[in-house]
Amino acid sequence: MQYFTTASHDLAAAANLLRSGGVVAFPTETVYGLGANAFDAAAVARIFEAKARPTFDPLIVHLPHRNALEDVAEPLTEREAVVARAFWPGPLTLVLRKTARIPGIVTSGLDTVGVRVPAHGVAHELLRLAGVPLAAPSANPFGYLSPTHAEHVVRMLDGRIDGVVDGGATTFGIESTILMLEPEPVLLRHGAVPVEEIEAAIGPVARRTHAQAPAAPGQLEQHYSPSLPLRVVDFTEVPDEERAPAAALAFRDTPSGYAQARALSPRGDLREAAAHLFEVLHALDRSGCARIDVERVPDAGLGAAINDRLRRAAAR
């Protein structure tokens, strides 16, 4: 696997690799993505292989800017245009009607395609240099903790992918919010844009983040899971003998009596908590403890996306 810095000659080399059918991980403002040319079905197939991802799980297509949309999606409706103008570039994925240029493997045969324009300098530059849209899921084995550092990608996917661009820690630390706007606005995945912000722009948005037959595997009950067993607890109710062998992940104040205890944000900031979530879970997963106990965070704003991931990480 080739390691690329963010120096311009390295980004140009990574872009060349992508253009010639390679699979390269790169940073975005949410998590690291595992990219391939979205127009190249064979390259996209290698993403599924590297992640051991089921082919019923469609990928998000990344664009350098809104103007590149016409190659991948049908023209936006009025409501879609309002949201795209308000939130792109940024951590919001819109599910749109796809064009014929997007191969079926990208969308798992759906006639819709998830699209976003990342707000991240390195992602933007790589997309611009590649000159093709990049299909990119999170750069982790399917179902496992998402990567927020290049080092997470190397540890999880070395030998399975062609390269990684190291852009340091990602900003938000959780994935994009996924939204479908037609025929009615529906939230498909909680993410880095709080749904309240979207509702402030367009009015009520229905929640469909727990579908029976998942339209988005961000909807699978078990997802984002560490290797260790993880449970969501109220720390005031965990007896001492259960604490000693376990690791604790708290929101603000670390509980006593655990083998290891970490706080997501001692000052109680949800943005900071989201940014640290996967990083701390990766570390605790390698702590040698028997289990990870986590507590929920306040459910408002980014808290909904954090709690959503904790719940699914705990599911077995």
Judged by beta carbon, residue 146 or residue 307, the one nearer ligand TXA is: 146
Site for Mg ion in 116-145 (CB under 5 A): 138
**Shortest reach from residue 239's CB to ligand TXA, in Å:** 36
293 binds, among ligand TXA, Mg ion, none (CB under 5 to 8 A by kind): none
**Shortest reach from residue 173's CB to ligand TXA, in Å:** 10
Gap between the Cα atoms of 188 and 225, Å rounded: 19
- Which residue among 93, 148, 209, 225 contacts ligand TXA (CB under 6 A)? 93
Structure tokens at 65: 């800017």
Three-class SS of residue 201? Answer: helix
Three-class SS of residue 168? Answer: coil
Gap between the Cα atoms of 192 and 68, Å rounded: 23
Is residue 182 close enough to count as binding ligand TXA by CB under 6 A?
Answer: no
Computed from CA positions of residues 46, 130, 144, 212, in that sequence, does the dihedral angle turn out positive or negative?
negative
Calculated CA dihedral for residues 315, 294, 50, 19, nearest 10 degrees: 120
Spell out the residues 6+ positions from residue 104 whose beta carbon is closer than 8 angstroms to its own: 41
Measuring CA to CA, how many Å separate 70 from each of 56, 63, 98, 146? 25, 11, 9, 30
Is residue 307 close enough to count as binding ligand TXA by CB under 6 A?
Answer: no
Three-class DSSP labels, 245-265 = CCEEEECCCCCCCCCEEEECC
The residue range among 133-141, 229-237, 261-269, 277-285 that interacts with ligand TXA, by the rule CB under 6 A, is 133-141
Is residue 89 close enough to count as binding ligand TXA by CB under 6 A?
Answer: no
170 binds, among Mg ion, ligand TXA, none (CB under 5 to 8 A by kind): none
- Which residue among 95, 102, 127, 195 contacts ligand TXA (CB under 6 A)? 95
Three-class DSSP labels, 25-68 = EECCCCCCEEEEECCCHHHHHHHHHHHCCCCCCCCEEECCCHHH
188 binds, among Mg ion, ligand TXA, none (CB under 5 to 8 A by kind): ligand TXA
Judged by beta carbon, residue 177 or residue 250, the one nearer ligand TXA is: 177
Site track for ligand TXA across 30-69, x = CB under 6 A: xx-x-----------------------xxxx---------
Binding site for ligand TXA (CB under 6 A): 28, 30-31, 33, 57-60, 91, 93, 95, 107, 110, 112-114, 136-138, 175-176, 178, 188, 215-218
Which residue ranges make up the site for Mg ion (CB under 5 A)?
Answer: 138
